[in-house]
């Protein structure tokens, strides 16, 4: 079947993925594999822009991210899964793109402004050149594969806009080499964490794909509920309760309506409601979690997937770089 185009997306290896990542990103990526030619990149160089002083955990984080991806349905028979730093061509293109990218474009990027305001600056030297150039590297990641579509979260839109601007400027000087990629936003409702805020590793409220069923049950049990519903019989407000969000995500519609009514009338108590939400969650995510557990015990396989991905990615990236060197009269050609 003819594909609709080529996708590239990526993620920094910064720790275990949680249900928010799964519902917000991975499920979506996995579903696109039938329609698009897919490249998924573990962006370890990007992780260095804010964490260059702690690289000792990088190999493990890369492997664990690959495990999370494979468990979530990214399929090495249909997609190329690879590690950014294993495809050196990205660095070369980053360098060349940095020549055509005005510093002012990078300084006004909202993610950069945000990062420098919250910089973890271990030696007080200020933001690094690599951090400023983060979007240039991301542009290189995307266009070196001539990707047409980049499925990302809203936070990445400024980077996609910059990528398009860099492509226009580059093509203007050197000929029509790269397509302008489009961002594809996933329609996605926020997944709440155990404290009711958006699920995030940094809030300590996450349910990870690597959690065991017991850990999931324990976390769900401790989940924040409507503070006005203290005991059985008190009427609750399901729309303000994260446990109800789990019923909505993983339960069927008819049962959700019953739960809503039971909570509002006070007949349904939080303990029972949480128990059922846990069951539904484990029913839906159990297979992913089980697969994750198996893959984590078979790292030889996971490393093999990344080794194969590296070869496939390099082939495409190398062809693009040949074209770029020729267009720019570099390397004596
Ligand atoms: N910047 C992205 C993030 O933080 C990760 C990333 C790196 C990426 N390279 C990419 C995303 C290329 C899309 C395309 O999530």
Burial of 174 (0-12, 13-18, 19+ CB in 10 A): middle
Sheet holding 182-185, edge to edge: 79-83, 37-42, 6-11, 149-152, 182-185
Tokens of 174: 């050197």
Q: Cα(160) to centroid of ligand 1, in Å? A: 9
| Structural domains of the chain ordered from first start | 6-191+299-328 (3.40.50.620), 213-293 (1.10.240.10)
The Cα 333–Cα 328 span in angstroms is 9
Please give all residues whose beta carbon lies within 6 A of any atom in ligand 1, as ranges. Answer: 8-12, 41, 43, 46, 138, 141-142, 150, 152, 156
From residue 209, alpha-carbon distances to 187, 206, 216 in Å are 21, 10, 9
Residue 169's pLDDT band (cuts 50, 70, 90): very high
What is the number of the ligand 1 atom nearest to the C-alpha of 137? Answer: 9
Helix or strand holding residue 250 (H, E): helix 242-250
174: which residues sit within 8 A by CB, 6+ positions away?
324, 327, 328
Q: Which residue has the tokens 């300590």?
A: 204
| pLDDT at site 54 | 83
The Cα 29–Cα 152 span in angstroms is 9
Q: Cα(63) to centroid of ligand 1, in Å? A: 17
Q: Which residue's alpha carbon is at the smallest distance from atom 8 of ligand 1?
A: 10
How much of the chain, in percent, has pLDDT values that exceed 70? 99
pLDDT tops 90 at residue 80: yes
What is the number of the ligand 1 atom nearest to the C-alpha of 134? Answer: 1
Which among 16, 10, 148 has a CA at the least distance from the CA of 83?
10
pLDDT, tens only, 252-275: 999 999 999 999 999 999 999 999
| pLDDT at site 333 | 66
Give the 3-state secondary structure of residue 185. Answer: strand
pLDDT, tens only, 195-243: 999 999 999 999 999 999 999 999 999 999 999 888 888 999 999 999 9
User: What's the whole-number mean pLDDT along residues 49-54?
Assistant: 83
């Amino acid at each position: 079947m003819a594909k609709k185009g080529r996708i590239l997306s990526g993620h920094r290896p910064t720790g275990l993925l949680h249900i928010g990542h799964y519902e917000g990103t991975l499920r979506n990526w996995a579903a696109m594999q039938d329609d698009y030619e897919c490249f998924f990149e573990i962006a370890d160089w990007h992780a260095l822009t804010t964490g260059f002083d702690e690289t000792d955990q990088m190999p493990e984080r890369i492997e664990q991210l690959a495990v999370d991806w494979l468990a979530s349905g990214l399929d090495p028979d249909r997609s190329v899964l690879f590690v950014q730093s294993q495809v050196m061509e990205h660095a070369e293109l980053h360098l060349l793109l940095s020549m055509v990218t005005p510093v002012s474009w990078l300084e006004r990027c909202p993610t950069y402004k945000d990062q420098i305001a919250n910089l973890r600056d271990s030696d007080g030297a200020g933001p690094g050149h690599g951090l400023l150039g983060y979007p240039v590297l991301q542009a290189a990641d995307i266009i070196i594969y001539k990707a047409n579509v980049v499925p990302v979260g809203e936070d990445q839109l400024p980077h996609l806009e910059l990528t398009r601007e860099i492509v226009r400027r580059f093509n203007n000087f050197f000929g029509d080499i790269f397509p302008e990629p489009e961002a594809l936003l996933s329609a996605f409702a926020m997944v709440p964490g155990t404290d009711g805020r958006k699920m995030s590793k940094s809030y300590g409220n996450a349910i990870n794909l690597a959690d065991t069923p017991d850990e999931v049950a324990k976390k769900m049990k401790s989940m924040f509920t409507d503070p006005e519903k203290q005991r059985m019989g008190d009427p609750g407000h399901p729309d303000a309760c994260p446990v109800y969000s789990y019923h909505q995500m993983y339960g069927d519609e008819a049962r959700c309506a019953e739960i809503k009514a039971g909570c509002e009338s006070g007949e349904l108590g939080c303990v029972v409601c949480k128990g059922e939400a846990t069951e539904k969650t484990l029913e839906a995510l159990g297979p992913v979690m089980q697969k994750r557990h198996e893959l984590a015990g078979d790292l030889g396989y996971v490393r093999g997937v990344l080794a194969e991905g590296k070869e496939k990615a390099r082939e495409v990236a190398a062809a693009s770089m040949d074209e770029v060197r020729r267009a720019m009269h570099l390397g004596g050609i």
